[in-house]
Structure 1
Amino acid sequence: MKYQFGSGTVSDVLDVLALTPEFENVICADIIGNRLAGRNSSILVARYEAKPVGFKVGYELPDGQFYSWLGGVIPEHRQMKVASQLRLLQESWAVGNGFNSIKVKSMNQFPAMLQMLIASGYQICGYENNGSIAESKIEFIKFLQPQ
């Protein structure tokens, strides 16, 4: 069985979050709904055997840039390039919807994500000090080329 990638729902995101230890149940449907309300947004999901195993959620920022807000992959599927495929799909979606750049934030405590972003052409453009090195956020941007 192969992975399938496409649009998803808040329910799909919650299913993956429940099996993704990094999130510790801090994100609920209301938080997602409130964040996306009234914005041009995208929920992309990876499925394996019809079950959601990964996701990427993003939305338009007030300055017209796209913000890749939230993403996760169930640990058992992380070595299968699911996050990379979702990133590519999100970038394609952003270009198709008129965006010329994507911003994303990550933390030092997620080195695999930092490495993937840098290897994929994202550049560091900011730093958000949250009181500790592990909890502080590194901001990235990638300028997109129309396809």
Structure 2
Amino acid sequence: MNWSIEQGSIDEVIEIENQVPEFVTPKTRALIEARLQNKKTLLLVAKVDGQPVAYKLGYALDEKHFYSWLGAVVPEFRGAGIAQALLNEQERWCTSLGYGAISVKSMNRFKNMLMMLLKNNYQIVACHPLEDGTDSKIHFLKQL
């Protein structure tokens, strides 16, 4: 499978989000635009034959700290190394701009994401059970 990584658009994020069954409530354009307003952002999209199949979206918390906010891979394209390639490109970009750390939050139910973060030397710095007891939000940090 041939794929490429490039700068993406919010429309592509929404297209991908709507193909990910784990996302009960996909992100909306309004929510994404509101969160990114006045922030330095990086939006990477992986494409197979010109079709968006994965993305990684984050923004600067300050001059030295980047927050990797959202990401997903469409199910039929998982296991091909696309998520790892997106993570690598995000880290390369952050390092090139002088960021010293990347933060990420995930949920306990996203096992593949947790494993990838741990494999890439992201450290667990906090864990908060959800109020309804159905899952936990796990906070990761990687020093660059």
Aligned-partner residue type, residue 110 of structure 1: F
CA RMSD of aligned residues (A): 1.4
Q: CA deviation at 1:61?
A: 1.1
TM-score by length of 2: 0.94
Q: CA deviation at 1:132?
A: 4.6
- The residue that corresponds to 2:7 in the other structure is 7
- The residue that corresponds to 1:21 in the other structure is 21
Aligned-partner residue type, residue 137 of structure 2: K
- The residue that corresponds to 2:57 in the other structure is 57
Aligned-partner residue type, residue 14 of structure 1: I
- The residue that corresponds to 1:99 in the other structure is 99
Separation in 2, partners of 1:66, 1:90: 10
CA separation of 1:17/1:70 partners in 2, compared to 1, >3 Å: closer, same or farther?
same
> Aligned with 2:6: secondary structure?
strand
- The residue that corresponds to 1:40 in the other structure is 40
Aligned-partner residue type, residue 48 of structure 2: Y
Aligned-partner residue type, residue 61 of structure 1: L
- The residue that corresponds to 1:86 in the other structure is 86
TM-score by length of 1: 0.92
Separation in 2, partners of 1:63, 1:93: 13
Separation in 2, partners of 1:63, 1:98: 8
The answer to whether the 8 A contact 2:63-2:99 is kept is no
Q: CA deviation at 1:63?
A: 7.2
Q: CA deviation at 1:136?
A: 1.9
Q: CA deviation at 1:49?
A: 0.6
> Aligned with 2:79: secondary structure?
helix
The answer to whether the 8 A contact 1:108-1:133 is kept is no
Instruction: Count residues in correspondence.
Output: 144
- The residue that corresponds to 1:127 in the other structure is 127
Separation in 1, partners of 2:116, 2:73: 14
Structure 2 gap ranges (5+) = none
Q: CA deviation at 1:111?
A: 0.8
The answer to whether the 8 A contact 1:106-1:114 is kept is yes
Aligned-partner residue type, residue 106 of structure 1: S
Aligned-partner residue type, residue 92 of structure 1: R
Q: CA deviation at 1:134?
A: 4.2
Separation in 2, partners of 1:140, 1:65: 13
